[in-house]
Amino acid sequence: MKSKEVKKGLYAPPRGIGDATRARAIGLYGPTSQIKYAPYNNRNNVISRFDSDKNVQNIPSRRVIKRLEGVVQT
């Protein structure tokens, strides 16, 4: 996926603007619980390290890109 192919994007607190606008989003969780903080309308688009080392930096970029491609295509 080339960066110019991404037409819309939104970075917001998970339950904030993303839910209010029904924006498609991906939630990345490290030290916080995806169960508690995941956006209501995007619970399927969560990648979490909460149950292992709680370090969001250890989420592989290829996993994020694959999830992002799925969100953009829907």
pTM metric for this prediction: 0.67
Task: Note the pLDDT tens digit of each residue in 33-63.
Answer: 888 888 777 788 889 999 999 999 999 999 9
Q: How many Cα atoms are found within 13 Å in the side-chain-facing hemisphere of 16?
A: 6
Average pLDDT, rounded, for the chain: 78
Q: Which long-range contacts (CB under 8 A, 24 or more apart) does 14-18 make?
A: 14/38, 14/39, 14/42, 15/39, 15/40, 18/42
What total of structural domains would you count in the chain?
1
For residue 66, the enclosing domain spans 3-73
The pLDDT of residue 34: 86
> 47 forms bridges with which residues in the sheet?
28
